[in-house]
Amino acid sequence: MLPSPWFVRAITRVSDTLARLRRRIIPAQFAALELGTAGWVSHALAAFCELGVAGALQAKAQTARELAAAGYGHEASLERLLRSLCAYGVVRCDRSRRYTLGRVGRALTGADSVAAMIRYANAPWHTAAHGRLAGTVREGRSGFSIAHGEPLFSYLQRDREAGALFDEAMHAMSTVYAPAFAAAYDFSHCKTILDVGGGDGTLVEAVRARYPNLRTMVFEAPQVVQRVAADRPDIEFVAGDMLADALPAADVYVLSHVLHDWDDENAAKVLANVRAAMPDDARVLIYELLVQPPSNVWSQDRVSDLEMMAMLGGRERGIDEFAALAAAAGLRVARVIAARTSEAVIECVPAGSPSRLTARCDSATPE
Ligand SMILES: C[S@@+](CC[C@H](N)C(=O)[O-])C[C@H]1O[C@@H](n2cnc3c(N)ncnc32)[C@H](O)[C@@H]1O
């Protein structure tokens, strides 16, 4: 059960205020160094995931010696890795240096594990892109292209291991936000849903769990379809290029965390391609973070925007920017529905459609 958006906002505010208070109290150099070396901890967490230690500790509490004897690594180094993660709720240590999983560590095991996203975010080819951020800011092109000489999606197409890790990472992320998407919108009048750039179909599967008669389709890059389709026999996968190829007809088109991958020109192209395929009474659901007004408070869109800038040359957008993109593609924003995550569902309909169309799937059903 997801907490309500207002509760999450309130807690975020309180923790943000406490974090700012702490930054005011500790010496400024400490605060700067803590921020500037946070990546060391991220890499420790990624190593913890890569070594599979979470799975071992889920089975039983263990010492570094026991983990080393079972083949998880070098004893003294395991001890140092584990003790460094105690302060973050990843593991807990007792007096005999026996480690168990903490609350954060438990999020790295099981069907809802986000471990793949952490491995993706800390993979050497990923961090190389962020390492070029100053170059990105100077030149305005993605750190990924500067570091690797090609865009992320063509790299993922060439490097099967990197591509598979990306798919796993997107699956991990969609297990976090798919249930909130499915709960935010009333699909009861819709027969066919097409998720454009829908990865392995986790999002449409969450919708079908609530609407079992829905026909679910995913339009994806051919190499992704090749990797994931066999595991999802209930979903119809269509392989193609969302920028260029014709999309199948559907009642609802979903673009979840897709437009933020692209600059304005290409994002408008994707939307125009959807508009060209959709019947006049169909709608488009854009599921994205919304950029918040300028403030000194933490918000997820800021962090995700850095990732888009470094990896793809894309961007997070505010509602006015989405409205402009929609208008350029012959669509208009009909409604914005807050989901029980940081994302919103932005419902778009054909530009000339009467407003009664907006009422057809009107009652959003947040729980
Ligand atoms: C950031 S992921 C989002 C995945 C999923 N929609 C989600 O919300 O987790 C973007 C997806 O778009 C797909 N993609 C990128 N370029 C594409 C293209 N030209 N045609 C079709 N799919 C593409 C990628 O393979 C990837 O799965």
Residue 157, pLDDT score: 95
> Nearest residue CA, atom 24 of ligand 1?
197
pTM above 0.95, yes or no: no
Residue 134: the pLDDT is: 98
* Index of the ligand 1 atom closest to the CA of residue 170: 9
**Does 256 contact ligand 1 (Cβ within 6 A)?**
yes
More confident residue, 124 or 362: 124
| Confidence category of residue 366, pLDDT binned at 50, 70, 90 | very low
Region 111-126: mean pLDDT is 97
The helix (H) or strand (E) run that includes residue 347 is strand 343-350
Q: Tell me: the pLDDT tens digits for 40-99?
A: 999 999 999 999 999 999 999 999 999 999 999 999 999 999 999 999 999 999 999 999
Q: What is the mean pLDDT of the chain?
A: 93
Burial of 266 (0-12, 13-18, 19+ CB in 10 A): middle
**pLDDT value at residue 2:** 66
- How much is the pLDDT for 283? 96
For tokens 């901890």, the residue is 41
Confidence of residue 361 (pLDDT cuts 50, 70, 90): very low
Percent of the chain with pLDDT over 90: 88
Is 260 among the residues known to form the active site? yes
Report the residue among 114, 120, 170 best suited for mutation to probe ligand 1: largest number of ligand atoms under 8 A from its CB.
170
Determine the Cα–Cα distance for residues 284 and 287; give it in Å rounded to an integer.
10
**Quick check: 266 pLDDT over 50?**
yes
What's the pLDDT band for 363 if we cut at 50, 70, 90?
very low
* Angstrom distance (rounded) from CA 159 to CA 120: 14
- DSSP notation for 98-125: -EEE-HHHHTTSSTT--HHHHHHHTSHH
Q: pLDDT at residue 365 above 70?
A: no
pLDDT score of 358 more than 60 = no
Cβ-based burial of 357 (10 A; exposed 0-12, middle 13-18, buried ≥19): middle
What distance in angstroms lies between residue 94's CA and the mean position of ligand 1's atoms? 44
Least confident of 109-113, 175-179, 223-227, 360-364: 360-364
d(CA 64, CA 55): 14
Question: Average of pLDDT values for 228-241?
Answer: 96
* Separation between Cα atoms, residue 314 and residue 262, nearest integer Å: 4
CA dihedral sign of residues 353, 358, 360, 361: positive
Residue with the smallest CA separation from ligand 1 atom 12 is 197
Q: How many residues in the chain?
A: 367
- The answer to whether residue 1 scores a pLDDT higher than 80 is no
pLDDT bracket for residue 217 (50, 70, 90)? very high
Index of the ligand 1 atom closest to the CA of residue 287: 8
Mean pLDDT of 225-230: 95
Instruction: Report CA Rg, the chain.
Output: 22
Distances (CA, A) of 46 to 50, 57, 143: 6, 16, 21
Res 356 pLDDT > 50: no
**Is any atom of ligand 1 closer than 6 Å to the C-beta of 241?**
yes
Tokens at 359, concatenated: 């009422």
Distance (Å, rounded) from C-alpha 235 to C-alpha 7? 35
What separation in Å is there between the alpha carbon of 273 and the centre of ligand 1?
A: 15
Mean pLDDT within 273-294? 96
Compute the distance from residue 257 Cα to the ligand 1 centre, in Å.
8
Residue 13 pLDDT exceeds 80: yes
What is the b/e burial string over 230-244, where b = at least 16 CB atoms within 10 angstroms of the residue's CB? Answer: eebeebbbbebebee
Q: Taking residues 232-241, report their average pLDDT.
A: 97
- Count the neighbouring beta carbons within 10 Å of the beta carbon of residue 209: 12
CB 143 within 8 A of CB 174: no
- Tokens 């007792």 belong to 94
Is the Cβ–Cβ distance between 262 and 312 less than 8 Å? yes
**How many angstroms separate the alpha carbon of residue 70 from the centre of ligand 1?**
38
pLDDT number for residue 58 = 95
pLDDT in tens, 237-257: 999 999 999 999 999 999 999
Helix H or strand E encompassing 137 = helix 133-139
Say if ligand 1 is within 6 A of residue 242 CB: yes
The angle subtended at Cα 184 by Cα 183 and Cα 189, nearest 5°, is 85
Q: Quick one: pLDDT band at residue 6, thresholds 50, 70, 90? A: confident
Residue 200 and residue 220: Cα distance in Å, rounded? 9
- Check if 198 has its Cβ closer than 6 Å to any atom of ligand 1: yes
Q: Is 174 in the pocket of ligand 1 (CB under 6 A)?
A: yes
